Structure 1
């Protein structure tokens, strides 16, 4: 029994969102097609609409216009339980007052797969064990969640999402507030998982390293979508973030790297 099912195709068609019908849209109509197994990085300045877009993609908010399809199925035509079997989300806000162990928290990811009022499915324990091992949490499984470090908590919440056996994994700023070591751990995880992944990132250089496609947002508008090398040009980055941008190649790694300077 494996905890990781096949990845899925994600299509957003003309989706937008606003707080009410009488108010202007915070997120303007956006469309993109992410093929199965690819990593999409959503980037943009604060207030661009990144988290708002994510809430539409994991079925938290109903779009004002358009729809989101996973493998051709409109997620709003599915039950919440069925959607949770397809899409898992790891958000920035992590509760610290769980009176639960690491294993208890990860086991919560199995809830969408339980039938009726059943306590456990026959495969739950095996899948939880596999996910704990995958996230290097086996030794911590009996620790209280509230005693964990920031990096350990992040790994635990990702493990809970993986225990859902999703086909699409949504991550909202997964490296935020983490030190360099834990940032690298999360980046390695993103690279290694055979899932369709949608992740918001502040760091464009990080996005260039780990993402197959990027979607650039500014003021709720899409500024570009596609492979980072094509979309993240000096001009587009400068216009989006209102800085002077220079794209350089690092001599040792032979990778492109952005440097920034405030506009005068």
Structure 2
């Protein structure tokens, strides 16, 4: 059985209850209190203009920042009541920018995803190697296995970091703009991967049309406030999109595919 099958990965319920964040108690909140409940196995797209609070929320979800208020639960357990290693076994994250000075090969970087599952100073075992090899094949990284990470293009580095996250075999996958630096082919591969994995996925995206295709739910943010949450066809009205992004918006149905697509113009 594939190590990436739903039976092995699984997914988790994510509940965000009255969560907010600011740099300090004396400074204004960057992310205002918000709540949502994402059911296991669903894909949530975070959308909003630059500075809306998307990356701030993601940093709370993968336990980088402590919420100023509220709590985040994965399968009913507060992630701040769990040990960091235990959280890393259920939540994996892929960030926008990656360090380029790793003195490691591509396979070495991908193998780092197995660290939360090891005991003490143990090295990779046969099961780890099988997982690493399968993930690298799935992400089309076999030919790059022995390249140094720092020599890769931005798009190649992004695929390596997605692979590293998948080797953690998480239940929740957090992706911050995963299609940045990718050409059209690899953007489509990432979208296919999102739809193909039986995981709970939370992803920030700039492309609203991509969001409608790839996501089961959306959370719309503006100035740190939640403007809407739910299925894209119920939340993403032309009025809401126009207000959030300060553009004129039209929603059109493509005749051949019967899919909806937004078009935009600058507001006057």
Contact kept, 8 Å, 1:44 with 1:240, in 2: the verdict is yes
- Distance in 2 (CA, whole Å) between partners of 1:198 and 1:164 is 16
Counterpart among 43, 50, 63 of residue 59 in structure 1: 63
TM value normalised by structure 1: 0.97
Aligned residue number for residue 227 of structure 2 = 223
Aligned residue number for residue 190 of structure 2 = 186
Deviation at 1:32, TM superposition (A): 0.6
Matched, 1:110 2:123: no
Structure 2: runs of 5+ lacking an equivalent:
none
Show CA shifts across 1:48-87 (max 9, x none).
Answer: 0000000000000000000000000100000000000000
- Distance in 2 (CA, whole Å) between partners of 1:236 and 1:178 is 28
Contact kept, 8 Å, 2:43 with 2:201, in 1: the verdict is yes
Counterpart among 85, 89, 96 of residue 92 in structure 1: 96
Deviation at 1:33, TM superposition (A): 0.6
Report how many residues are paired.
Answer: 264
Aligned residue number for residue 158 of structure 1 = 162
Show CA shifts across 1:156-202 (max 9, x none).
Answer: 10000001110000000011122222211111111111111000000
Deviation at 1:150, TM superposition (A): 2.4
- SS of equivalent residue, structure 2 residue 249: strand
Aligned residue number for residue 51 of structure 2 = 47
- Distance in 1 (CA, whole Å) between partners of 2:121 and 2:85 is 13
Structure 1: runs of 5+ lacking an equivalent:
none
- Distance in 2 (CA, whole Å) between partners of 1:155 and 1:24 is 36
- Distance in 2 (CA, whole Å) between partners of 1:250 and 1:122 is 49
- SS of equivalent residue, structure 1 residue 123: helix
Aligned residue number for residue 196 of structure 1 = 200
- Distance in 1 (CA, whole Å) between partners of 2:124 and 2:246 is 52
Contact kept, 8 Å, 1:113 with 1:121, in 2: the verdict is no
Matched, 1:7 2:11: yes
Aligned residue number for residue 124 of structure 1 = 128
- SS of equivalent residue, structure 1 residue 8: coil
- Distance in 1 (CA, whole Å) between partners of 2:184 and 2:32 is 34
Contact kept, 8 Å, 1:13 with 1:66, in 2: the verdict is yes
Matched, 1:138 2:142: yes
- SS of equivalent residue, structure 1 residue 159: helix
Contact kept, 8 Å, 2:155 with 2:180, in 1: the verdict is no
Deviation at 1:122, TM superposition (A): 4.7
Select between 113-122 and 154-163 the one with higher mean Cα deviation.
113-122
- SS of equivalent residue, structure 2 residue 9: coil
Aligned residue number for residue 239 of structure 2 = 235
Deviation at 1:129, TM superposition (A): 1.2
Superposed CA RMSD: 1.1
TM value normalised by structure 2: 0.96
